[in-house]
Amino acid sequence: MGGLLSQELGSLGQVERQQSGGLDELAAIWFDHHGKELRAAEDTYKRIKAAIAALKNPIASEFNAQVFAAFRSQRLDAGISLNTVNREHAYMRAMFNELIRLAVWKRDNPLKDLRQFKVQENELSYLTKEHIAVLLVELKKSTNPHVDLVSRICLATGARWSEAEQLQPQQIRQRLSQFARTKTGKARAVPISQGMQDEIFIHHAKHKNIGAIFAGCTGAFKEALERGSIQLPMGQLTHVLRHTFASHFMINGGNILTLQRILGHQDLKITMRYAHLAPDHLDSVRNLNPLVS
């Protein structure tokens, strides 16, 4: 009995020490016990540590909504975007939620009642057929052997750049491209043409990469855009290919639910950003308004 009581008191003492330490100590515990298993583990941890450093690593027990609200105001004044500040908010709140589940943090989540900023949704940009034609010419000119095919896989399937770039031979079967390491963690399969499947296998046989079929080629993609004088909104690069696939899918009469499955969106609201591009979107307004006799 005495041993159990001693263990319990020791555990409580450890929790108290963690809450009187800096936020960086809590972040390290979060990473060791949960964060390292996330798909984007290192990137997420890096962003959390950067936010904590910008906060000047406050004592955990003194960190609260007021402290973070003042911090994000300073970030906005310094020119940091609303989206970035909201991401930092989401990372920190999720970290505390997990620490509570791990019984490391014994208090309420300090950010649970603090709302994120509302961000006005910008219209998604996509490449026109004319842009696509120019881009494909410039991609063919690239000295990078992978960028052309990776780009065309994205345009043909709506894949994220990283999903296409990290494809392995076993993920291409029976005219299906099976994307495994996805943002949501859920695998999905998207049909491809026989011609594209053959081209992928020929490419792999030629370049003999170990593991993934392709090597990194984001820089070569950026150079192709510049040569083709194709300008994108600030902060957008390879993801324009995914937007382009989705936009043209809807323009050509595709079904929004089918598009949701192709893109792997868990929430239909995200896919609905493309709905207005459908040729019959809200078409009934012409016939059902009260001025129609």
Q: Which residues are catalytic?
A: 160, 183, 239, 242, 265, 274
**How is residue 252 written in tokens?**
């050509």
> Coil, strand, or helix at residue 110?
coil
DSSP state of 108: -
> Coil, strand, or helix at residue 2?
helix
HEC sequence for 163-205: HHHCCCHHHEECCEEEECCCCCCCCEEEECCHHHHHHHHHHHH
- Tally the C-alpha atoms within 13 A of residue 47's C-alpha that lie toward its C-beta: 16
Give residues with Cβ within 8 angstroms of 33, minimum separation 6. 98, 102, 104
- 189-219: b or e for each residue (b if 16 or more CB lie within 10 Å)? bbebeeebbebbeebbeeeeeeebbbeebee
Give residues with Cβ within 8 angstroms of 245, minimum separation 6. 154, 155, 156, 157, 158
How far apart (Å, rounded) are the C-alpha atoms in residues 141 and 249? 27
How far apart (Å, rounded) are the C-alpha atoms in residues 255 and 280? 11
How far apart (Å, rounded) are the C-alpha atoms in residues 245 and 264? 13
**How is residue 22 written in tokens?**
């800096």
